Structure 1
Amino acid sequence: MNRVFPECEAEVQQASLLRRFAAMIYDAFLVAAIWMCTGFAAVGLNNGNVVEGPLFQSVLFLLTFAFFAYFWVRLGQTLGMQAWKLRVQTIDGKHISLRQALIRFMTAILSFACFGLGFFWMLFSANKATWHDSFSETQIVLLNKKSK
């Protein structure tokens, strides 16, 4: 069951593309730190030898999804989104589900793979939605100063 965010906002303001990119850069540093710690642990477990291959890449992929899914589903915000006063939510203002987080994550990868077209799509979309907003039925909103 999806929980509704506690604050009631009369009108939701969509987050700008620039603010979204700023939050993504912040989160990219956190994901890189997770990858480095995982790499250090993997090398340590592998007697100091380099770790590579599909299993290791899959672990990094799953850890990256776990990072985003945890913050999106539990809090509605990653640390980068908190810094830039953004929140992901359903269209009706509720916490997103794990299924929506997975769809959002996978579609965002597709958006990047198409040279960012899925992100820039919001500049031409009537409802200012990216591909991952549309496919996951979510939105990124700008929080007002009273919101946490």
Structure 2
Amino acid sequence: MQRRFGNLDDVYPAGLARRLGAMIYDAFLVAAIWLLVAGLHLLAGRHLLGIPAEQVGDSPFWGLSLQLLLLASAFTFFAFFWMRGGVTLGMQAWRLRMETPDGYSISLVQAAVRFLVACLSIAAFGLGYLWILFDAERRSWSDIVSGTRVVVLPKPSR
């Protein structure tokens, strides 16, 4: 069920610099998750499947299964936090929130579309994110296609 966020009058669209800052923070977290997933993948192959050390990584299935696991773990990380509270740890540090234009948390379909378009945006040398500089509402390609937006939250009152 989607959650309605508060303080909608106090937020404004996030710019490129804040988004890049949050992306760098989250990249470190995703890298740590990928190290864990790759280690578990190796352990599963060696101990559960009994693959000898010299044959690890020899088959095309081995590499493909690892790539799919890495992609799935990255998607799971982002989708969980985007759908739950609209923020990842990196977004929280930069006071950003992901939401629908109406101020609700995003759905699983929106998270999937957003993740796939974000991957394409990065693969296109970041053009999808540079689009923020030219869009009047500061939307990236993934914002536009998924029907979401990234906003800057107000500073907490002391």
Is the shorter-chain TM-score for this pair beyond 0.5, marking a shared fold? yes
Aligned partner of 2:28 in structure 1 is 29
Give the counterpart of 1:129 among 133, 139, 151. Answer: 139
What's the offset of the Cα at 1:2? 2.0
Aligned partner of 1:142 in structure 2 is 152
Partner deviation per Cα, 1:27-60 (whole Å, 9 max, x = no partner): 0000000110111122222227345411111011
Aligned-partner Cα distance in 2 for 1:44–1:15: 41
Contact 2:10 2:154 (C-alpha < 8 Å) held by counterparts: no
Taking structure 2 as the reference length, what is the TM-score of the superposition? 0.87
Aligned-partner Cα distance in 1 for 2:128–2:30: 21
- For structure 2, list consecutive stretches of 5 or more residues without a partner in the other structure: 47-51
Q: Which amino acid aligns with 1:122?
A: I
Aligned-partner Cα distance in 1 for 2:15–2:79: 22
Indicate whether 1:103 and 2:113 are aligned: yes
What's the offset of the Cα at 1:9? 3.0
Contact 2:79 2:108 (C-alpha < 8 Å) held by counterparts: yes
Taking structure 1 as the reference length, what is the TM-score of the superposition? 0.92
Indicate whether 1:75 and 2:85 are aligned: yes
Q: Which amino acid aligns with 2:120?
A: L
Identity %: 49
- For structure 1, list consecutive stretches of 5 or more residues without a partner in the other structure: none
Q: Matched residue pairs, number?
A: 146
Partner deviation per Cα, 1:70-89 (whole Å, 9 max, x = no partner): 00001100110011110000
Larger Rg: 2
SS at match of 1:115: coil
What's the offset of the Cα at 1:122? 1.1
Partner deviation per Cα, 1:1-23 (whole Å, 9 max, x = no partner): 42201x22324311110110010
